[in-house]
Each structure stands twice: as structure tokens, then as C-alpha cells.
Amino acid sequence: MRLIDTAYIDGAFVPVTGEEELQIINPANERTIGSLRVASREDARRAIAVAHRAQEGLAKTAKAERLDMLTSLQDAILRRSDDIRDVTIEEYGAPVSRARWISRYASDCFGYAAEALRDYDFERRIGDATVRMEPVGVSALIAPWNAVSGTICSKLASALAGGCATVIKPSELSGLQSQVVAEALHGAGLPAGTFNIVNGRGKDVGDELSTNPDVARISFTGSTATGKIIARAAAETIKRVGLSLSGKSATIIMEDADLATAVPMALDGGFQNNGQACIAGTRILVPADRLNDVYALVRPAMARLKVGLPSDPNTAIGPLASAAQYERIQRFIARGLEQGAKLLAGGLGKPYGLDTGFFVKPTVFAEVSNDMDIAREEIFGPVLSIIPFRDEEDAIRIANDSAYGLEAYVYSIDPHRARCVADRLHTGSVLINQIAPDLRAPFGGVKQSGIGREFGHFGLEAFLEAKSIAGHYT
């Protein structure tokens, strides 16, 4: 049992002043493994004031100093990578391979930010002006509970590359993971105040970060609903906002695709992170005349998919993160059935032999039409919909018929055709015959999936603001 009752402010772990205590539950067995005393609005204010003081010094740092800081942070995370992996399994329920991926992402992102920074030109001439790229200022980094370690580190890496002091607010549902990451980052020995970590509720800590005049920018990852609240709150002081929000990504399996390769990959892309991923490809678009061939591949693949304890290396799908998540997924499966979708695999209730823990049956619906709720709303669990299409035009139309536009996946053996389809999809990114994005390429959404881009060069630039200086001397 661990009690987490500190925030990381001004280079030290200090007691939080909040009173509420949240139980931390292991989602695989529902045992209480710790508790988090949530930070208060007052704690957030202190952290912002500290970051504000650190900002001036940080803005003056040379590229070489920032590169050194990024390297120190990367090394510090690497030293604790096994702990980050283990706590990701224990608190979040990620299967071993996924937990290892999240831990690696948490360290790799500092390397990617350093790569972008090394090549970045902070001053250039445009016409008669010198354009100087300056840090935007104190930045609030707000993260959700899925892949929290990676998200925190990735945002911190870009902010620091841009010379911005930060206040990080992880999800209050990831107290242990955030604490281990905080301890690891502390080990890097950066100047006090450069980054601060305050774990509290959205309604007070999150709200303070969204409204405090000393915060210049918010980088948020989470649901579209919360993103709208933050954008509204931030408008009052005209903060810059970067929002990475929900998705309802389409996977288009083209007529010419090799189904034996495409179908297993489409399932992997849909079930990644136990389905708790904004980029999950949850709408699988299949040519109408190949539906039966696809079903014939989906059924045995689903029978082989191992749902089990996240610590078991053979497990592909672990428990969902919380009881609330379990209930949410049950509601969506029930709605899919009500609206007439047919179950190809999975369904309501818990998988056989897994009565304790927030386990759900990975579910694939067939005969889904794109206007059903399961095809329109982000479910955030292992529930996929197979939607038939007539031809390429129809596939593109269905894929684009969504309030969201985060990721899209295309399977085809014809590079030219796949590229033509990719060009017409309204999403922030498209992956062709692959499910793993390059974490140096820009990431973000169009439509209600967000504003702005993260990672690499674009992630760095999001923390900068252009100032043009023009002069005349005679």
C-alpha cells in the first residue's frame, strides 16, 4: 500500500494541501494498492508561481543547455524504465508488451525532441524582418490516464525544447504511475521549477491551469468533452491551446488488400492498449463482396486472442482501467445490440474465468451502419465495428462521415491507390499497411479530434511564438 500525498513543486516533493483521498485499485484483481491525496487549487497556484519564476531563466538557455537537459531526463527515465513498466501493469492493467512500449515511449520522446531541437533554427530573415522564435511561456500539460507516463514525458520534452517551464497535471486516476515518473524525472537534477507536477481533480487543479493568467499555453490530451471545457476556460485569458482529443478512426481494407495480413493488423490496431487509445481503428471498413472472407478470418483470430492477467506475457488484452470503464463498455455493447448490430465475437459480461477484475470480452460487431452509436461515438474499449462499403468512393465517404478526424488506416497492395485514398481522408494522420506511427512525425487531429500538432519539429514549434523585429538605422 502506498500513500501518495505530495506534489512535485520547485524541485522537491511537498505535501499537498488537498483533503480528498482516492483509492488506487489494481484493475486486474480489484484490490486496493494505494491511495492518492489529490492536490488542491492552492497547490496548483503555487506550482504556477514557481514555474513563472523559472520561466525567465529557462527562456535564456542556449540550445546546448536544453539538449543537455533533455539527455538528462531521458537517462533518468531509462534508469527507472522497469519500474515504470511494472506500475503501468499494476495500476493501469496494460499487458506486459504494451507497458514496455509505454515505458520506452517515455524515454524515447526526449531523444526525438532533442533531434528536433538540434536542427531547429530559432532565428531567420523574412523580407526586411528578423523573425525570432521565442518560448510561449509557462505551459500547463494535462494528461489522461491511458499511457500517462508517455504522454507526460512527450509533452514535457517538447515544452523544454522550446524553453517553456511547465506545470504537469496527470490524471488523478494514475496516481502511482505519475508518482514513479515524477521520482524518475526528479533524478535528472534539472534547475528547480523547470517542471512541476500537481496531481488533482480537473474541476479545481485543471480549472486553475486553464484560467490562471500566468499560464500562457495548455497542452491537453483527453476527451473532446473535456477539451471543449478547457478551450472555453482558456479563452478568457487568450491562452494558446493544443488539444489532442477523441477519435473514431476508420481502417479501410481496400478490395486489393491481402486479407490474411490486413485483418489481423486491423484487429491489432483496433484493440491496441486494450482499446483505450484515441487512435484505435474502431471502424473497420470492408468491401461488401469480401465480408464473408473477412468474417472467416476474424472469428478464429478472436478465438485465439488471449484475454487475461496483464502480467502474463501471453496476454493480448488485459482489464480495463477502472470500474467506470467497465460499465461504459457494457453500455456501448448493449446499445450496439439494441440498434441491430450483429455480434461476430464477444458480447456483454465478463470473459469466462475472469470474474474479478475489470475484464470485458473483446467484441466485434458485424452489419454495422455508420449511423449507429457504436460507429459514431468514441467507445474507448475493445469494441470494433465492421462496416461494409460498395467501392472506393463509398469507403472514403464513410471514413470521413465522422465528427472526429484523428487517425486512419489503409490496407492495399497498390502504393499509388493507397496514397490517393490517404490524400482524401480528413484526419491528422494516415497509416498505410502499418499500425505503429513514427513518433517524430506530427500527431494531432482535425475536426473535433483537436487543434495543433505534437511530437518532433511540430511539437517543439507549438511551444514557440514568432516575433518579428525590423529596424531602420540612418
User: Using CB under 6 A, which of 171, 272, 427, 449 touches ligand ADP?
Assistant: 171
Which span (41-49, 66-74, 226-234, 291-299) binds ligand ADP, by CB under 6 A?
A: 226-234
Which residue lies nearer to ligand ADP by CB, 206 or 459? 206
Burial readout 288-297 (b: 16 or more C-beta within 10 A, e: otherwise): eeeeeebbeb
**Closest distance to ligand ADP from the beta carbon of 204 (Å):** 9
User: Using CB under 6 A, which of 226, 282, 385, 427 touches ligand ADP?
Assistant: 226
For residue 229, state whether it binds ligand ADP (rule: CB under 6 A).
yes
For residue 203, state whether it binds ligand ADP (rule: CB under 6 A).
yes
**Closest distance to ligand ADP from the beta carbon of 407 (Å):** 18
User: Using CB under 6 A, which of 95, 137, 144, 442 touches ligand ADP?
Assistant: 144
Cell numbers found for residue 279: 487512435
Check if the beta carbon of residue 363 is closer than 8 Å to that of residue 382.
yes
Q: What's 56's DSSP letter?
A: H
Residue type, 164: C
Helix (H, G, I), strand (E, B) or coil at 289: helix
Three-state SS string over 389-414 comes to ECCHHHHHHHHHCCCEECEEEEECCC
The site for ligand ADP, by CB under 6 A, has a size of: 17
Q: Cα dihedral sign for 282, 86, 29, 150?
A: negative
User: Using CB under 6 A, which of 90, 91, 172, 407 touches ligand ADP?
Assistant: 172
**Closest distance to ligand ADP from the beta carbon of 442 (Å):** 21
Which residue lies nearer to ligand ADP by CB, 171 or 448? 171
User: Using CB under 6 A, which of 89, 188, 215, 230 touches ligand ADP?
Assistant: 230
Rounded CA gap, 375 and 353, in Å? 30
Which span (73-81, 142-150, 252-260, 409-417) binds ligand ADP, by CB under 6 A?
A: 142-150
Cell numbers found for residue 123: 532565428
Q: For 71, list phi and psi in degrees, rounded to 5.
A: -65, -40
Q: For 193, list phi and psi in degrees, rounded to 5.
A: 90, -15
**Closest distance to ligand ADP from the beta carbon of 217 (Å):** 14
For residue 145, state whether it binds ligand ADP (rule: CB under 6 A).
yes
How far is the first Cα of the chain from the last one, in angstroms, to the nearest whole number? 72
Helix (H, G, I), strand (E, B) or coil at 383: strand
Interacting residues toward ligand ADP by CB under 6 A: 142-145, 169, 171-172, 202-203, 206-207, 210, 222-223, 226, 229-230
